[in-house]
Amino acid sequence: MKISIITAVYNGAETIEDTINSVAGQTYSNVEHIIIDGLSTDDTMSIVHRHRDDISVVVSEQDTGIYDAMNKGIAVATGDVVGTLNADDMYEHDHVLKRVAEVFSDPELDVCYANLVYVDRADLEKVIRYWTSQPFEPGLFCRGWIPAHPTFFVKKTVYNRCGSFDLDYKIQSDFELTLRLLEMHRIRSLYVPEIWVRMRMGGTTNNSILNMIKGNLEAYKACKKHQLKVSPLFFVTKIATRVPQFFRRP
């Protein structure tokens, strides 16, 4: 089984090397690492080229944002299973992709996902937020639930059948995608209660109050688009489910 990992990056010179090394250091060997760069103006591409032997595909061209870049990666991916690892992120340990392959040894499975921790940008050992997920059940998305997308691995055939990221959503296209796959198409999924990803704080969704508001509005819009019955308290519920993550620890 081949696993494709897509990393979208723009001006990620500060962190991209950690991401590349995290994928290259995995004990599972049948891995295709795809890097989609949005014409970075810093040293990102010089770092990428320095590690070219560890990367299967490199694309550097103009895009319209992170989800456009991810769609480009999905389009060129040749793996049986596709995952994404952001340029700020890394795997929790060297056996994550081995675990993914073990999980997908079940031929009936379409998707798996796990937990992640948000860490301080300067101190990667300092956990700020512990995102624990749960097995999917109908109605979860109406309460603002979403699986941790960097831990979300999908069979390529599912993307071929159900589509990839909807570019109408600039901040929460991952919410719409996972909602569409799990809630609308009811693809077969498995939650693995393990930490798979270490994510630096300060990503697009959570780097400002304004983006958090925009993201919540997009999530609400996604629920309405798919004709889910969303409570007027959707925004309150969505935020409330996140609060314990800042106090819980692995």
> How confident is the model over 172-185, as pLDDT tens digits?
999 999 999 999 99
- CA 148-197-179 angle, 5° bins: 15
8 A C-beta contact, residue 91 and residue 64: no
**Residue 245, amino acid:** Q
**Residue 129, amino acid:** R
Domain that holds residue 93: 3-246
Confidence label for 50 from pLDDT (cuts 50, 70 and 90): very high
* Mean pLDDT of all residues in 112-126: 95
Question: What number of residues does the chain have?
Answer: 250
Determine the Cα–Cα distance for residues 12 and 29; give it in Å rounded to an integer.
Answer: 25
Residue 205: the pLDDT is 57
Number of compact structural domains in the chain: 1
- CA 217-135-169 angle, 5° bins: 25
Residue 183 DSSP class? I
8 A C-beta contact, residue 212 and residue 235: no
Residue 242: the pLDDT is 83
Residue 66: the pLDDT is 96
Task: Report the CATH number that the domain containing residue 159 is assigned in CATH.
Answer: 3.90.550.10
